[in-house]
Amino acid sequence: MVLILLLNALSLGNEIVSADWLPALLYPSTVLQIPTDISLSSPGAYLVPYLVLLIIIGIPLFFLELAVGQRIRRGSIGVWHYVCPRLGGIGFSSCIVCLFVGLYYNVIIGWSIFYFFKSFQYPLPWSECPIRRNRTVAVVEAECEKSSATTYFWYREALDISNSISESGGLNWKMTLCLLVAWTIVGMAVVKGIQSSGKVMYFSSLFPYVVLACFLVRGLLLRGAVDGILHMFTPKLDKMLDPQVWREAATQVFFALGLGFGGVIAFSSYNKQDNNCHFDAALVSFINFFTSVLATLVVFAVLGFKANIMNEKCVVENAEKILGYLHTNVLSQDLIPPHVNFSHLTTKDYTEMYKVIMTVKEDRFSALGLDPCLLEDELDKSVQGTGLAFIAFTEAMTHFPASPFWSVMFFLMLINLGLGSMIGTMAGITTPIIDTFKVPKEIFTVGCCVFAFFVGLLFVQRSGNYFVTMFDDYSATLPLTVIVILENIAVAWIYGTKKFMQELTEMLGFRPYRFYFYMWKFVSPLFMAVLTTASVIQLGVTPPGYSAWIKEEAAERYLYFPNWAMALLITLIVVATLPIPVVFVLRHFHLLSDGSNTLSVSYKKGRMMKDISNLEENDETRFILSKVPSEAPSPMPTHRSYLGPGSTSPLEPSGNPNGRYGSGYLLASTPESEL
């Protein structure tokens, strides 16, 4: 799902600050994925739920986050403190989820860096199994011979993986170095800030599409590509009715659009006050879906090619078994159709021969150990997760002409997408913290990267891939759903949908469609509540586990997490959601200031900045509304969760030529902090 997630999110720009919407990557699967893997065996059944949930959840809530950030001009913490102080914990939970995702996401960038540098050689190092010399005898590595060259390179040469999550095996120094490089690049990019990102925006946005287009053209020319694409668009109604498919589709929508991470709010807070974020939300969502389909076409064209190769290999192996049975008289020559030629055996001939043998040897057929070698089965069991990018695609590229070139382009694209995604993830951490606590940006960013690198060593030990699976599947999925539901409730039911729509009308210059009113008020929260319930039930009913690579068997085996890992898994979920009830309780009992009498806004004149803080409520109203207190509508009593009905919007532009807010200082074009 790594590749699906990366490519699926191509359309979401990490330049939300700009009104020039060029597609780039803000988030992943998750890897990067989405946390739960999409079932590649039922893509036809998956696309319909994904499109439905994109319309009723994705677009409305993406528009909501863009509008809230652009309107209030604060990071995710400040926004929810303003909208509803008692739900101010939403912003802190978003930061924690971003931290969890960033910890393992950068590890995947490290993997891509490793493969990128390994691609500069011919033949590619994963194209053939290594040869071991035992004195004068040369033998193929047993683990590689039982699996495949690409699978062996991934599990043994790259990860040097242990047999289970309980076996640490020590650090993998190659991946540790790659992780250090990845965090260094991310730290430098975030410290330089959003002003410099425009210089590389065209490349980072368009380069992945160029690579995708090249891969699509090359993929369509491969033998068997059409089989994969037909499989992609073949609907399976039984799968479409599976609640698990809908839950995974919703998770993919959250990750593809970056909902709940806080990055969308952070970037949109840099937009101009009159920017048409309604158009941006619709356009980005459409491009996102288009890119999802394009990326999936590329994936299934390659998987169709790979499935044909594996199916032919299956036919050859089973044909050798049949020849052995013929030579030992286990099978009679009469069972073989006269037109079958074992030296040029086709899949059709083997299928015919297989059916004849199965019919005649019905009682003892299972003892023969013959496989049906159906292309459909090969497509259904296509690898998922990290294996899609690092096993399936690498294997397909070994069959391409000039394979090192394609490999370099592919992993350069993944690195480009991953870094764009990490910048968005880091923005979800740095922007709200810097806005809220006024810490120096450079020091805080460097400290975050150093801390994340040392914690990330957990993922580069020999068992690290299993921890990546745990974090990918459980650290963000359920917390994100809870965060997005509460965001929806805070705006639609506490702040007030009608008031929010009125303020959007003032900000945009036109009234958004009533479609959004009904989605925010009823449909979206209802659907997300159902999805949350399904996630909790699944977590309680189905024991969480992971696919472990067993060296002796050279195969994957599904194992359940041990008790200590289950405790860690539950801790991740609790820690991510804990700030929400903690802040609610503290503010309900007035143990924590709700921030209604404080405001910190940065103004500048030339290079000079002026911070206004600890203002009385009337002074704050005057500064925000550019009016004296007597001219401004009085705010709501006790808590400034939202301004009362009929009141002037909190960021209404004024006619003062010196700035939008009528202050003697020129308002900074960015919010309180700079990325």
* pLDDT value, residue 131: 85
| Partners of 364 in the β-ladder | none
The angle at the Cα of 233, spanning 231 to 238, to the nearest 5 degrees, equals 85
* pLDDT value, residue 2: 40
Residues 79 and 73: their CA atoms lie apart, in Å, by 8
* pLDDT value, residue 355: 87
* pLDDT value, residue 194: 52
Position 8 confidence tier, pLDDT thresholds 50, 70, 90: very low
Q: Cα–Cα distances in Å, from 413 out to 1, 114, 122, 209?
A: 16, 14, 20, 9
**pLDDT mean over 286-305:** 86
Mean pLDDT for the chain?
78
What is the DSSP-derived secondary structure letter of residue 546?
E
- Residue 457 dihedral angles phi and psi, to the nearest 5°: -60, -20
Residues 541 and 519: their CA atoms lie apart, in Å, by 31
Residues 155 and 149: their CA atoms lie apart, in Å, by 10
- Is there a binding annotation on residue 288? yes
* pLDDT value, residue 41: 46
Position 568 confidence tier, pLDDT thresholds 50, 70, 90: very high
Between 146 and 643, the more confident residue is 146
* pLDDT value, residue 382: 59
Q: Cα–Cα distances in Å, from 345 out to 312, 349, 369, 483, 519?
A: 9, 6, 19, 57, 58
Tally of CA atoms within 13 A in the half-sphere of 620 that contains its CB? 18
* pLDDT value, residue 112: 94
CATH assignment of 1-309+382-593, given 3.10.50, 1.10.1740, 1.10.3470, 1.20.1740?
1.20.1740
Residues 251 and 228: their CA atoms lie apart, in Å, by 24
Residue 148 has pLDDT above 60, yes or no: yes
Residues 424 and 401: their CA atoms lie apart, in Å, by 36
**pLDDT mean over 235-264:** 83
The answer to whether residues 106 and 464 touch, using CB atoms and an 8 Å cutoff, is no
Which residue, 16, 12, 39, 40, is CA-closest to 26? 12
Q: Cα–Cα distances in Å, from 419 out to 129, 304, 414, 437?
A: 32, 29, 8, 26
| Helix ranges restricted to H, 21-88 | 43-53, 59-72, 76-83
Out of 336-350, 367-381, 611-625, least confident range: 611-625
Q: Omega into 543 within 30° of 0, i.e. cis?
A: no
- Is there a binding annotation on residue 630? no
| Partners of 666 in the β-ladder | 604
pLDDT tens readout for residues 351-377: 888 888 888 877 788 888 888 888 888
Q: How many other C-beta atoms can be found within 10 angstroms of the C-beta atom of residue 336?
A: 18
Which pTM value belongs to this model?
0.79
Which residue, 500, 54, 492, is CA-closest to 277? 500
pLDDT tens readout for residues 26-59: 333 333 333 333 444 455 667 888 889 999 999 9
Between 487 and 190, the more confident residue is 487
pLDDT tens readout for residues 415-452: 988 888 888 888 889 888 888 888 898 899 999 999 99
- Is there a binding annotation on residue 366? no
What are the residues whose beta carbons fall under 8 Å from the beta carbon of 88, sequence distance 6 or more? 77, 80, 81, 583, 587, 594, 595
Residue 73 has pLDDT above 80, yes or no: yes
